[in-house]
Amino acid sequence: MEENEILNVIRNELFYGSADYTKSQPDLFIPHRFKMLAPSQVDSFLEKVKESLSEEDEILLYVHLPFCFSECLFCNSFPHKADKEAQKDYLSNLLKEIELLTVRGVFKGRKAKCIYLGGGTPTSFSNNDIKLILDKISSCIDLSENCSVTSEAHPSTLSDKQRIRELGDIGINRLSLGCQTFDQKVLLLCNRKNTEGQIARIVNDVKDTGMSINIDMMTGLPGQTIEGVKKDLEILGGIRPDSVEYIRHEIVNPLVVKLYKDNPGLVVDNDTLFQMVCITQEWMSANGYEQNGRFTDDTQWGYRYYWLKEMPIIAFGSRARSYTRTICFDKHEELSVYSNIIRKGGLPVGRYISLTPKEQMYRSLLLNIQVKRGLDIKQFQSRFTADPLEVFSSLFSRLSGYGCLQQEGGAINLTKYGAYFVEDVCDYIIDAVLKEESKSLARTPHSEGGTSSRLC
Ligand code: SF4
């Protein structure tokens, strides 16, 4: 097919626009399969988790720090209002949780390949608090050589160069800065205030310390235009962070839903959004930036790269999701429930899914196609004693017919345009999993579980 023809097919058959699009960092999300766990069942459940980790030498660690100073309208993570007392309490429970998992032997014999502090705004905690977390982790689990340690950060928390330097001193070696756009009108609508000068200064300050710096950007924000996106790219090209992640605005926050209800003209229509994705992905490729669908190695974002290579994730904190190759489990979301269980010496695991062998195969496909090399056919065969071209034959024929998926060099991987629309391809695969289980099942937003704004 000609390039234009492929793009037309993707737009007509696969592109979910904003409203039905659910994944900015796709993993297999099948919430109908969650089973609740009573506190009395958690210890025996943890034995199964340990068993599922028995072959793993290295794991990823995620730390969830769900507090923010104000709420951005594009937010899909529903943080709590930053508050000294609440954060102090959360921190002490989080440190205890790390200890409890250590005592139960979850980390025995394995190393942490990467650590990721996400939120919320991790930098709403002081450097000293972040140091306590990193010190606790390194006293409980050995770190791999060159362990990548990322913290997400809000630009307003990095105005002081000394603070940035200290973050490097305590062990952070990569900062990920939420920027989303430089368009002041759009930012104002989204309840954000970052400026081009502020972001450029932070990027320079971080680079001066020797840390790596990522900038998060978005398309499909309220009132965003093609011209605005082009201007953003021009500015980014001048700032030159070490990595960039471009995602689409996922319309789930009740505040943005209300804004759109009152001002329908602010919604970016699907055709414009489609163009925005093409423009930004073209720019990312041309400027050597890798993201989902195109990662060649761990240089730009180790944590995500190894996640896609199916390295298990053990997550700390309320609502945090962990994955091994066969089990997915979530911590309790409510802070009071999370804290009370830990205070009583228990682990706050609330629900889990034991992936069936078929679901494991789907997850393997879904994650590996987000790496440039794709799903290695021989490795899949030796792990599952099944040929992926047969297991996924109907899916493969539809997605390759759309010009998104191909067989190349012993792997199944995304084509150029499949990589541009990687989230839609992943959503399509999740739809196939759901339909295989029951015709009546449909995707729900990945942020399901947090349904109301907490900060306003
Ligand atoms: S998007 Fe805004 S509200 Fe949401 S976690 Fe980031 S800084 Fe906080």
232-267 confidence digits (pLDDT tens) = 999 999 999 999 999 999 888 889 989 999 999 999
Query: Which of the 8 DSSP states describes residue 249?
Result: P
Between 18 and 340, where is the model more confident?
A: 340
pLDDT score for 454: 46
pLDDT score for 317: 98
Q: 154 CA to middle of ligand 1, Å?
A: 8
Domain ranges of the chain: 1-24+374-439, 25-308
Residues in contact with ligand 1 (CB, 6 Å cut-off): 68, 71-72, 75, 77, 79, 119-121, 154, 178
- Nearest CA residue ID for atom 3, ligand 1: 71
Q: 384 CA to middle of ligand 1, Å?
A: 40
Q: Which helix (H) or strand (E) holds 167?
A: helix 161-169
Reduce the DSSP state of residue 146 to 3 states and report it.
strand
Q: 251 CA to middle of ligand 1, Å?
A: 14
Residues 6+ apart with CB under 8 A from 248: 18, 21, 24, 218, 219, 220, 273, 277, 423
Cα distance between residue 384 and residue 368, in whole Å: 15
Question: Mean pLDDT across the stretch 110-124?
Answer: 97
Ligand 1 pocket test: pick from 71, 80, 124, 194 the residue with the most ligand atoms within 8 Å of its Cβ: 71
107's tokens: 């980390």
Phi first, then psi: what are they for 2, rounded to 5°?
-70, 160
Question: Mean pLDDT across the stretch 30-40?
Answer: 92
Cβ(150)–Cβ(175) below 8 Å: yes
Task: Report which ligand 1 atom has the smallest distance to the Cα of 72.
Answer: 2
Task: Report which ligand 1 atom has the smallest distance to the Cα of 191.
Answer: 2
Cα distance between residue 254 and residue 211, in whole Å: 36
Q: Tens digits of per-residue pLDDT, 50-87?
A: 999 999 999 999 999 999 999 999 998 889 999 999 99
Reduce the DSSP state of residue 59 to 3 states and report it.
strand
pLDDT score for 84: 96
Q: Tens digits of per-residue pLDDT, 342-367?
A: 999 999 999 999 999 999 999 999 99
- The CATH homologous superfamily for domain 25-308 is tm_1862 like domain (3.80.30.20)
pLDDT score for 78: 84
Residue at token pair 């989080």? 94
